[in-house]
Amino acid sequence: MDELNDRPDELAAVRDLLSTPRPSSEVVDSGRARLLAALAAPPQAPQRAPEAPQRVPLRAARRERSRRGRSRWWAPVRNGLIGAASAAALALAVAVPSNSLIDLSPDPVVSASAPPTARQILLAAAVAMATAPSDGAYWRTRVVTGQLILSPDRQYVIKRQSLREIWLTRTDGQRDRWTGRYLGARPATPQDEAAWRTAGSPGHWQYPADVTGLGRVSPEALVESAPGPPQGGPHRVGWRNADGILTKQLVSWTALSTIPSDPTALRAFLVTHIARENGAYVGRKMEAELRESCLEIITGLPVSPEVRSSAYQILASMPGMKPEGAVTDPLGRAGQALSYQVMRDDRLSDERLVIDAESGLPLATETRIVSRVADGRDVEIGSFIAYQRIGWTDEGPAQ
């Protein structure tokens, strides 16, 4: 504890790098003291030897919170101390071999010019996520999906978007519901808009049978620029309309309740499910599938905050996630970006996660590749999912 208390400059540096407001020194001291008390033990000296990992203090904090009920010290964090709590958490890094328990140990000295590491960002998200609401009448998700595609004549990039919102309930006699709407399509950038105007400002685009190299668009698709009408109705498939490792297998609330909240147990659980679904394989494919399963938990499965926090901790313990710094997501929201690889169509694919480190909530996942338009200009095409709402709520859908 004294080691961290003697390093206020490092905590302030990490907080500034994540673009959070600077609280007063009294708030920093109070937030640091509260977080360290919750962790139940002072951090040890850095232990890089893989043969002697220590158990993650965050689990002890969760057990203590469970014993006392909803922990009282998280309330002031939500009311203004989250910058200090995140800064204290970010002074720790996850240092584990791939088959060991998760261990928190102090990072090397953080200078004002050094950007936060991927592990620091993910650990801050884990701390924040553990305090999210854990109950409600509905599990609600609201996402905007989008594609960046080349126009049929390959002159510019088109951005098309759709909105979908889902309410899932565990109450007998009530039905799950969904609403959605096609949000339309338009040129992606001012440069694309200029090329679109040169092409006559079309209001729709008819695609050919061969769409190779144009992006994620169906053969012979008709893409309209105008938004579509609102839609909605009973949602009959729960969360089972996805093709992830867990959503293929966990098809009931009872099955979801079997997902362990302990990071080590969760990792073993996920590896077992991955092997059951795809066979036993090792190396980068298993790493990519494990990462994808953790992201599946974080971005949509109706599980407890502790499970989602543990998924962040597993990600923080894994290699392969690279920080890209502060960015704006496809909806223009500010967040921290991490790039990584996942399995897509049995191949490794480069993707990016944008998260709000203060709340722990994912903002977006993105897949982009470099393409080229007819005039030789390099452009980005791909797809994204932007998360506007994820979590429990008592607010039901409009009838």
| Dihedral (Cα; 98, 391, 80, 321), 10-degree rounding | 30
Q: How many residues does the chain have?
A: 399
Asked if the model's pLDDT at residue 355 lies above 90, the reply is yes
Asked if the model's pLDDT at residue 353 lies above 50, the reply is yes
Asked if the model's pLDDT at residue 48 lies above 70, the reply is no
Asked if the model's pLDDT at residue 121 lies above 50, the reply is yes
When mean pLDDT is compared over 76-80, 109-113, 166-170, the highest value belongs to 166-170
Model confidence pLDDT, tens digit, residues 148-191: 999 999 999 999 999 999 998 888 777 889 999 999 999 999 99
Asked if the model's pLDDT at residue 363 lies above 50, the reply is yes
Q: Which helix (H) or strand (E) holds 29?
A: helix 25-38
Chain centroid offset of residue 44 CA: 29
Higher pLDDT pick, 396 / 342: 396
Q: How confident is the model at residue 325 (pLDDT cuts 50, 70, 90)?
A: very high
| Dihedral (Cα; 243, 248, 254, 257), 10-degree rounding | -60
Rounded CA separation 142/180 (Å) = 9
Q: How confident is the model at residue 144 (pLDDT cuts 50, 70, 90)?
A: very high
| Residue 20 exposed, middle or buried by CB count within 10 Å (0-12, 13-18, 19+) | middle
Rounded CA separation 307/309 (Å) = 5
For the chain, the distance separating the N- and C-terminal CA atoms, rounded to the nearest angstrom, is 53
pLDDT at 357: 76
Q: What is the mean pLDDT of the segment spanning 121-148?
A: 92
pLDDT at 74: 29
The lowest-confidence range among 49-58, 124-133, 305-314, 328-337 is: 49-58
Which structure tokens are listed for 43?
A: 């951090």
Model confidence pLDDT, tens digit, residues 290-308: 888 999 899 988 899 999 9
Q: In the chain, pLDDT over 70 holds for what percent of residues?
A: 64
pLDDT at 98: 37
Q: How confident is the model at residue 28 (pLDDT cuts 50, 70, 90)?
A: very low
How far, CA to CA in Å, does 190 sit from each of 97, 156, 241?
47, 10, 36
Are 380 and 369 a contacting pair, CB within 8 Å? yes
Average pLDDT score, the chain: 75
pLDDT at 174: 79
Model confidence pLDDT, tens digit, residues 195-237: 999 999 999 999 999 999 999 999 999 999 999 999 998 876 5
Q: Which helix (H) or strand (E) holds 355?
A: strand 347-355
pTM, two decimals, is: 0.71
